Amino acid sequence: MTLLTFRFAPSPNGELHLGHAYSALLNQKLANSSGGRLLLRIEDIDTTRCTPEFEAGMIADLKWLGLDWKEPVRRQSEHFAEYETVLKRLIRQELVYPAFMSRGEIRAFIADSEKRGRDWPRDPDGVPLYPPADKALSMKERNRRIAENAPFAWRLDVGAAMARAGKDLAWAEFSDETLSTTRFVEARPQDWGDVIVARRDIPTSYHLAVVIDDALQGVSHVVRGQDLFSATGVQRLLQEILGLQPPAYFHHRLILGPDGRKLSKSLRDTGLTALRDAGASPEEIRRTVGL
């Protein structure tokens, strides 16, 4: 039997909180109980918001918690050239296109369309889908704007990508923390519209880097928060058009704050460093998150 591989993949753009602790500890528990391995991946492609200080803080918190991962740690910012190779393939295959509309232009376009009585579709997070106008630009016009240094992002042509996949897609989702049974969930990448797969200056996005790395690192089980459940459809489509082996998924419950809301990296009182400084022990953290 092949070795099961789990990963914990935080973004160092803030401090770890109880929700991260639960995710990391659950991955560790599953890796241990299955005789598998746990990898740590630092998802720091957003070089403006991610810092080495946050990364060092995260690693210190994880060590304090008792997390034990297999080295080396993969730091995404060190692999931009690999992502760029894949991006170039998608450009060549015309599965991505340069999208030039600014946030203001998108807002104005949608307001105009809604004024004329048409509700503009929104993604599962409530964000309006990207308007189709740029997809119709000629190659000459695209090249002209790029040569003029117009800001743009590479967006997935989700319709073209789904046509390329040529079949309905689904992913295997475990039903609970014990990973005992799976069901197949229909992937609905179209619900997210033409998502960003790379920026002008950063040759990748969260979705692109995550599917490349999960495949490259041989991740067999992606165990992460429920908040990423429906975005998995986008990742499943990218895996298909890139010919990558999909892992199985478990999207776990989220640890909520006292106000019943999702924790954020700016909520100091549930931050691991703050809890440790206030005298909490790793055992107390485990108990608090129910592990």
Among residues 70 and 145, whose Cβ is nearest to ligand GLU?
70
CA distance between the termini of the chain: 27
Question: How far is residue 15 from each of residues 29, 82, 269, 274, 290, measured CA to CA in Å?
Answer: 22, 28, 11, 10, 21
Q: Is residue 197 involved in binding ligand GLU (CB under 6 A)? A: no
Q: How far apart are CA 192 and CA 40, in angstroms?
A: 28
For ligand GLU, the binding residue among 9, 99, 129, 275 (CB under 6 A) is 9
Count of residues engaged in binding ligand GLU, rule: CB under 6 A: 7
Select the span of 5-13, 64-72, 83-91, 160-168 touching ligand GLU (CB under 6 A).
Answer: 5-13
Select the span of 4-12, 29-37, 64-72, 100-108 touching ligand GLU (CB under 6 A).
Answer: 4-12
Among residues 110 and 208, whose Cβ is nearest to ligand GLU?
208
Short-list 195, 205, 99, 86, CA closest to 146: 99
Question: How far is residue 284 from each of residues 36, 69, 279, 287, measured CA to CA in Å?
Answer: 26, 21, 10, 5
Q: Do 221 and 250 form a contact (C-beta atoms < 8 A)? A: yes
What is the smallest separation between the CB atom of 142 and ligand GLU, expressed in angstroms?
31
Calculate the CA 152 to chain-centre distance.
21
Select the span of 6-14, 27-35, 79-87, 194-202 touching ligand GLU (CB under 6 A).
Answer: 6-14
Q: Is residue 12 involved in binding ligand GLU (CB under 6 A)? A: no
Contact map string, positions 211 to 240, toward ligand GLU, x by CB under 6 A: -------------x---x------------
What is the smallest separation between the CB atom of 204 and ligand GLU, expressed in angstroms?
13
Q: Is residue 16 involved in binding ligand GLU (CB under 6 A)? A: no
Sheet holding 221-225, edge to edge: 70-75, 37-42, 5-8, 221-225, 248-252, 170-174, 182-186
Whether the link from the prior residue into 128 is cis, omega within 30° of 0, is: no
Among residues 106 and 263, whose Cβ is nearest to ligand GLU?
263
Select the span of 9-17, 236-244, 249-257, 279-287 touching ligand GLU (CB under 6 A).
Answer: 9-17
| DSSP letter assigned to residue 93 | T
Q: Is residue 11 involved in binding ligand GLU (CB under 6 A)? A: yes
Select the span of 3-11, 114-122, 176-184, 282-290 touching ligand GLU (CB under 6 A).
Answer: 3-11
Short-list 16, 30, 107, 104, CA closest to 64: 16
Sort 27 into a burial class: Cβ within 10 Å, 0-12 / 13-18 / 19+. Answer: buried
- 206-216 vs 80-92: helix crossing angle, rounded to 10: 110
For ligand GLU, the binding residue among 4, 10, 90, 198 (CB under 6 A) is 10
| DSSP letter assigned to residue 110 | H
For ligand GLU, the binding residue among 106, 210, 211, 212 (CB under 6 A) is 210
Q: Is residue 43 involved in binding ligand GLU (CB under 6 A)? A: yes
The residue ranges that bind ligand GLU (CB under 6 A) are: 9-11, 43, 210, 224, 228
